[in-house]
Amino acid sequence: MPVDYIPRTRDLYSDFTPYRWVVNETAPFTPLKTPIAECRVAMISSGGLMYRDQPRFHREDSSYRRIPKNARRDELNVWHFGYPTHDAEQDPNCVFPLERLRELESAGVIGELTDPVFSFMGGIYSTRKVRDELAPQIVDELKRAHADAFFLVPA
């Protein structure tokens, strides 16, 4: 079921100043220098997935979860306030396509999927928190993983 994000966000924050959507006109396009079949690819999802007994996300939560790339479907949980999670609970691949990326890795379409992969609960907190808190932490994780590219999966 599609989620109409702008009205949903207006409803969630109706007691606050109207949300100003971010427009980034300065981010440069950077083409890959290595064929994707030779790249280490990281996956980052805003779907609010957690592994086994990791703590649930909470409102205004700008943390993320590290999830082993070999995690099984029955070891994943979904906790997100910003969208109906029923479909993701039935098949996490709709917001966290870990099984599909492992298939791409096995088929040689991507060079290697990094371990771990990452999940956060996007869409319900401020752009400032994403820019100042979440993004720098994820960038550090990607550097440590020696990722050549990342696949960002919005929920």
Residue-wise DSSP of 109-150:
SSSEE-SSEEEEB-SSS-HHHIIIIIHHHHHHHHHHTT-SEE
Which pTM value belongs to this model? 0.80
Name the most confidently modeled range: 5-9, 11-15, 32-36. Answer: 32-36
> For residue 7, is pLDDT > 90?
no
Binning pLDDT at 50, 70 and 90, where does residue 123 land? low
Alpha-carbon 36 to chain mean position: 20
In a domain, 12, yes or no: no
Rounded percentage of the chain residues whose pLDDT exceeds 70: 95
β-partners of residue 152 are: 44
Residue with tokens 């064929």: 35
In a domain, 103, yes or no: yes
Residue with tokens 């950077």: 30
In a domain, 38, yes or no: yes
In a domain, 28, yes or no: no
In a domain, 10, yes or no: no
In a domain, 144, yes or no: yes
Binning pLDDT at 50, 70 and 90, where does residue 20 land? confident
Structure tokens at 27: 């981010």
Residue 18 or residue 67, greater confidence: 67
The arithmetic mean of pLDDT across residues 26-46, rounded, is 91
Rounded-to-5 percentages of helix, strand, coil across the chain = 30, 20, 50
Structural domain total, the chain: 1
Structure tokens at 151: 């696949």
In a domain, 24, yes or no: no
pLDDT (tens digit per residue) in 124-153: 667 788 888 898 999 999 999 999 999 999
pLDDT the model gives residue 49 = 96
Instruction: Please state whether beta strands 117-120 and 40-45 pair in parallel, antiparallel, or not at all (unpaired).
Output: parallel
* pLDDT mean across residues, the chain: 89
In a domain, 20, yes or no: no
pLDDT the model gives residue 23 = 78
Give the structural domain span for 136: 34-153
Question: What are residue 51's phi and psi, to 5 degrees?
Answer: -105, 130
